Structure 1
Amino acid sequence: MGRQVRRVPAGWEHPKRAGRYIPMRTAGDKLARATEERMPAWPAEACTHWQLYEITTAGTPLSPPFASAKELAEWLASHRVEAAPGFTGTAEQWLRMIESGRDTSTVAMKGKSFVSPLDPP
């Protein structure tokens, strides 16, 4: 299960079709076959909020946008968003993942979960 924190503008609502989120890759992802499969390419200064996406199936949101990384981390922990099947993270663990700035994989060891950045390519 891959996770990615994306910076989005305030008020961003991920598009839906027939009530379901449309998977969207990041703006620069060359694997997207069509423009509608890519996140909009907003200017960096417009992206003031943080939102968690799953990236296993190209990208659908797992959280609403938040004004700070800390607010997102607290929401993820309090809503018991899975870091891996059956495992959640604490607000501190989520915050470490968010602040790493890298796509992540999730790992569970000895019945405890933690969020661990992927090794750089």
Structure 2
Amino acid sequence: MGREVRRVPADWQHPRYTEENAPHGRAVGRYIPMFDGGYAEAAADFLEKANAEGLQEAIDYYGEAPKQENYMPDWPQEQRTHLMMYEDTTEGTPISPAFATPEELARWLTDTGASSFGDQTASYEAWLRVAKGGFAPSAVLYDGSLTSGVEAIA
């Protein structure tokens, strides 16, 4: 759990809750959390467990069967031209727009004071390392102090 880069099409607009699908009124307009990775793989894993150990065991293990709407779209690689920073403490919601390069993404995250953990932000160099490397944990406890994972791995 922390911050991760996801490759998306240039025109990707992460879905938001509407009055029709929001779990409560305060959620309207907020991003809908979505898992990264493929729905097909998650569904295959669920079915494998259900077939091997029984449906109830699979439900007990996974909580419920995977739902396609809970996963990012499975675009062809050639369409995944841009980078977006996501928080994945929940299933995953964006904390940035899409950018063509890691440098542009890191600059935007720095200039806007984007959250690297709670109310902490990170330096350009730290954001750039994550933008190029793909992932940072939420936080790291180091020498008795809790710090952003983005800064800790820089």
- Relative to its length, the structure with more helix (as a share) is 2
Is the 8 Å Cα contact of residues 2 and 89 (structure 2) preserved in structure 1? yes
**Higher CA-based Rg:** 2
How far residue 22 of structure 1 moved from its aligned partner, in angstroms, is 0.8
2:72 maps to which of 39, 45, 63: 39
Question: More relative contact order in 1 or in 2 (CA 8 Å, sep 6+)?
Answer: 2
- Relative to its length, the structure with more strand (as a share) is 1
Gaps of 5+ in 1: none
1:19-73 residue CA offsets vs partner (Å, 9 max, x unmatched)? 1211110132626721000100011111110001110110111011111110000
Q: What SS class does the counterpart of residue 86 from structure 1 fall into?
A: coil
Mapped to 1, the partners of 2:33 and 2:3 lie a distance apart of 13
Q: Give runs of ≥4 in structure 1 deviating > 6 Å.
A: none
Matched, 1:53 2:90: no
- 1:61-100 equivalences in 2 (<5 Å): 61-100=94-133
Paired residue total: 116
Question: Counterpart of 1:11 in structure 2: which amino acid?
Answer: D
Q: What SS class does the counterpart of residue 108 from structure 2 fall into?
A: helix
How far residue 112 of structure 1 moved from its aligned partner, in angstroms, is 7.2
* Structure 1 vs Structure 2 CA RMSD: 2.3
Match of 2:34 in 1: 24
Percent of residue pairs identical? 45
What TM-score comes out, normalization by structure 2 length?
Answer: 0.67
Gaps of 5+ in 2: 19-28, 43-61
